Amino acid sequence: MQYINAASSSEALAALLKADGRGMVIAGGTDVIVDMKNGKIHPELLIDVTRAADMQGIRVEDDKLVIGAAATLTQIARHEAVRRFYPSLAKGCGTVGSLQIRNSATLAGNVISAQPAGDGAMALAPLAPVFTVLSAAGERTMTMGEMYAGFARSAVDHSRELVTRITVPLPGAHEAASFVRLELRKSLSLPMLNCAAMVHYEDGAVRWVRITMAPVGVGPVRAAAAEAYLTGGPLTEEAMSRAGELALENANPRSNPLRGSREYRLETLPVMVRRALEECRAQLV
Amino acid sequence: MAELHTTINGEAVAADVDPAMTLAEFLREKLYLTGTKIGCGRGECGACTIIMNGKSVVSCLIPVMRAEGAVLQTIEGVANGRKLHPIQEEFINKGAIQCGFCTPGMIMSSKALLDANPDPTREEIREALGGNVCRCTGYVNIEQAVNAAAERMRKGEK
């Protein structure tokens, strides 16, 4: 096996194209190395993008938060602008694995790994992120809904293309986001359930709301029925509880021997959805 | 094979390595720095924690070639000759060690924290050590050891 430390995204892409499907991109590597050890993947070439100069850092540009695909979860969780504009994203990124994992792992990788409930990816989901993807055809953008092709399967082909940055619109007036998690313990544990929301609430009415939940399907699942029910109405205790119940219409959780049965998850999901909405409202009222 | 240039415990190291190795394997099997333990080998126990460019990382999940040009600290570089570091002494004083297998990782996580943050809160200590699993001591003594070491380090001890 060969290994390249790419100095830029274009250098990484050139190496990928030259390898013609036998190479793959590695960022933090906290999933890739485990998959290699388990014999799930056998790359002939790893192209490390953690030093790619144009994929570093986090910045505010116009009305957007731009997160370089090589930014680590620790950098995001502790970044002043992330904490100010999207504390829910800081919380989700600050919850993945352990500090040692977060010191290597990236948010872009958390999405590309396409695990059903990555806390960073799930906190990001309702914020309407846009992913910039670089391939032989040039740059294109993808939405959160387009990123997941299946369980642990990304729509981005890491042997032929790479995510270079994630762009998130900053919250406007009357907007707030939240991230909540049902967990066995605080560190080194995947969530039993996680749920994130973003709402625009003005003059006592929900203008729009996005609710995402996991692991209840492939990637972050939108609670479409709950969103439709809430839109146009007030965020009362009754409405938030009802939205929690309606979230079940879009949820299809599996049973997990460690992190709860399907039945348990169906019982607790409405509570988590309600809490996510309550946290949004608490920031706005 | 590929050529690796890195700095480990203050010494420049050049070596021919198989890029498929992890950093933990390289440290243990090529350099015989066996103080870095491999517990689970999948980033879930923290026994292989080292400090890379000032940050704690699990070396079992770091591809060896990422260490190119990096500055690494392992448990072997923590003591000053025969004089233990205050963190090591306080782990002993507070009974924060039993079987000892997790201890090198615990010390490296603690050192990464205290080097960057001399006066951590309880929550910051717990965040720093949350990725290190110990099945003997029950964590309370470990937290006390980190606090005691922090106090000594604030007074200038190294």
Per DSSP, the three-state class of A135 is strand
Distance CA A180, CA A21 (A): 38
Q: Taking CB atoms and an 8 Å cutoff, what residues of chain B touch A101? A: 43, 58, 61, 131
Distance CA A152, CA A144 (A): 15
Q: Is the pLDDT of residue A285 over 90?
A: no
CATH of the domain at A200: 3.30.390.50
Distance CA A184, CA A39 (A): 29
- Average pLDDT in the A50-65 region? 97
Segments forming the whole domain that contains residue A271: 175-284
Kindly determine whether residue B46 and residue A98, on different chains, have CB atoms separated by under 8 Å. yes
Report the number of distinct structural domains present in chain B. Answer: 2
Instruction: Kindly report the pTM of this predicted structure.
Output: 0.97
Residue B32 Cα, gap to closest chain A Cα (Å): 22
Are residues B60 and B109 located together in one domain of the fold? no
Q: Is the pLDDT of residue B56 over 80?
A: yes
Is the predicted ipTM greater than 0.90, yes or no?
Answer: yes
Distance CA A137, CA A22 (A): 19
Kindly determine whether residue B56 and residue A100, on different chains, have CB atoms separated by under 8 Å. yes
B window 30-49, beta carbon within 8 A of A:
41-44, 46, 49
Are residues B70 and B92 located together in one domain of the fold? no
Are residues A160 and A180 located together in one domain of the fold? no
Distance CA A165, CA A130 (A): 8
Are residues B72 and B6 located together in one domain of the fold? yes
Segments forming the whole domain that contains residue B47: 2-77
Per DSSP, the three-state class of B82 is coil
Residue pLDDT, tens place only, A82-120? 999 999 999 999 999 999 999 999 999 999 999 989 999
Instruction: Give the residue from B77, B98, B115 where a domain finishes.
Output: B77
Are residues B62 and B100 located together in one domain of the fold? no
Residue B137 is predicted with a pLDDT of: 87
Are residues A160 and A184 located together in one domain of the fold? no
Q: Quick one: closest CA in A to B3, which residue?
A: A3
Residue pLDDT, tens place only, A219-234? 999 999 999 999 999 9
Paired with A247 in beta bridges are: none
Q: Which class for B122: exposed (0-12), middle (13-18), buried (19 or more C-beta within 10 A)?
A: exposed
Report the number of distinct structural domains present in chain A. Answer: 2
Kindly determine whether residue A3 and residue B18, on different chains, have CB atoms separated by under 8 Å. no
Are residues A132 and A182 located together in one domain of the fold? no
Are residues B69 and B106 located together in one domain of the fold? no
Are residues A211 and A76 located together in one domain of the fold? no
pLDDT category at A66 given cuts 50, 70, 90 is very high
Are residues B129 and B105 located together in one domain of the fold? yes
Are residues A202 and A157 located together in one domain of the fold? no
Q: Which class for A44: exposed (0-12), middle (13-18), buried (19 or more C-beta within 10 A)?
A: exposed
Kindly determine whether residue B43 and residue A34, on different chains, have CB atoms separated by under 8 Å. yes
Are residues B73 and B90 located together in one domain of the fold? no
Q: Quick one: closest CA in A to B113, which residue?
A: A99
Are residues A51 and A151 located together in one domain of the fold? yes
- Average pLDDT in the B96-116 region? 97
Q: Is the pLDDT of residue B83 over 80?
A: yes
Residue pLDDT, tens place only, A152-196? 999 999 999 999 999 999 999 999 999 999 999 989 999 999 999
Are residues A144 and A17 located together in one domain of the fold? yes
What percent of chain B stands above pLDDT 90? 97
- Average pLDDT in the A125-132 region? 98
Instruction: Give the residue from B77, B108, B123 where a domain finishes.
Output: B77
Are residues A192 and A273 located together in one domain of the fold? yes
Are residues A45 and A60 located together in one domain of the fold? yes
Nearest to A193 by CA among A263, A280, A130, A142: A263
Contact residues of A toward B, CB < 8 A: 1-3, 5, 26, 29-30, 33-34, 36-37, 46, 48, 50, 74, 97-101, 103-104, 186-188
Are residues A195 and A89 located together in one domain of the fold? no
Q: Taking CB atoms and an 8 Å cutoff, what residues of chain B touch A48? A: 63, 65-66
Q: Taking CB atoms and an 8 Å cutoff, what residues of chain A touch B109? A: 99-100
Instruction: Give the residue from A151, A169, A187 where a domain finishes.
Output: A169
pLDDT category at B120 given cuts 50, 70, 90 is very high
Q: Which class for B107: exposed (0-12), middle (13-18), buried (19 or more C-beta within 10 A)?
A: buried
pLDDT category at B158 given cuts 50, 70, 90 is confident
Whether the Cβ atoms of residue B47 and residue B81 lie closer than 8 Å to each other: no
Alpha helical stretches, state H, chain A: 9-19, 32-37, 73-78, 80-85, 87-93, 99-102, 107-112, 119-124, 224-230, 237-247, 262-284
CATH of the domain at A113: 3.30.465.10
Residue A282 is predicted with a pLDDT of: 97
DSSP per-residue codes, A75-111? HHHH-HHHHHH-HHHHHHHTTSS-HHHHTT-BHHHHH
Chain A interface includes B109 (CB < 8 A): yes
